[in-house]
Amino acid sequence: MPVGALIDIHRHGQGDGTVIINIDTSQWTDCEYRAGFYSLGIHPWFIERQDCKVALQTLKSALADANLLAIGECGLDKLSGAPFSLQESIFIKQLELAEQFRKPVVIHCVRAFNELLRIKAALNPLMPWIVHGFNNKTSIATSLLEQGCYLSFGKALLHPNSNASKVLPVVSRDRFFLETDDSYLAIDSIYRAAVTIMQIDLLELQQCLENNFIRVFLHD
């Protein structure tokens, strides 16, 4: 499978090149989004807006699609209005589907890293977990990396003093990704920021992210 130069593993809305478009299960009927690679999941913000049984069914029926590269974004958010126990149960159902259908998971996690790590220890999943939009302390990054998670960095890299900018240089090169998320930025601005922070050649950065992408998302 040909891979483009700058890979964006998490974007809301259309993008150019090799990009994984994120779709919420409520958007599933919009086939425009499914023309290229995408991830599909139930976001903790939208749990209460929909019938989660139907949403999980939608997700399940989509998992045979070769363009569906990951489940997500899904996860835990202490700032979301949805009851935490409900968030946890919907998240775990998606994690179980990921194992069953051998898909990596793109994870949204806000102020719930201890809970996330507890769930990881309990499930002991074989599929890679990618904590997206990472912009937290180095100690949290270290715990996630030690437990085998991948980290994906986005617009926070544009700020040299952000947590993301401090964490990126210490992350092993085989364990991270770059993304635009909902920023509407071009992915090359994120790559340029990463090049400066990591003091690495753009070509070398592209090569390592292409290797990571193939290993994690195109593993079959």
Token readout for 67 is: 């363009």
Please give the residue whose beta carbon sits closest to Zn ion in the complex. Answer: 181
Closer residue to Zn ion in complex, CB, 93/108: 108
User: Is the CB of 8 or the CB of 88 nearer to Zn ion?
Assistant: 8
Tokens for 57, please give them: 């069914």
Report the nearest approach of Zn ion to the CB of residue 38 (Å). Answer: 12
Taking the complex as a whole, the smallest distance from the CB of residue 74 to Zn ion amounts, in Å, to 10
Nearer to Zn ion, 46 or 200 (CB): 46
Minimum Å gap between C-beta 68 and Zn ion is: 16
Q: What is the CA radius of gyration of the chain?
A: 16
Shortest CB 12 distance to Zn ion, Å = 6
Burial degree of 56 (CB within 10 A; 0-12, 13-18, 19+) = middle
Nearer Cβ to Zn ion (13/169): 13
- Give the residue with the Cβ less far from Zn ion, 1 or 151: 151
Q: What is the rounded distance in angstroms from the CA atom of residue 123 to the CA atom of residue 11?
A: 28
Q: How far is the CB of 15 from Zn ion (least distance, A)?
A: 13
Q: Which is nearer to Zn ion, 189 or 195 (CB)?
A: 189
Residues that bind Zn ion (CB under 5 A): 181
Instruction: Output the smallest distance, CB 201 to Zn ion, in A.
Output: 28
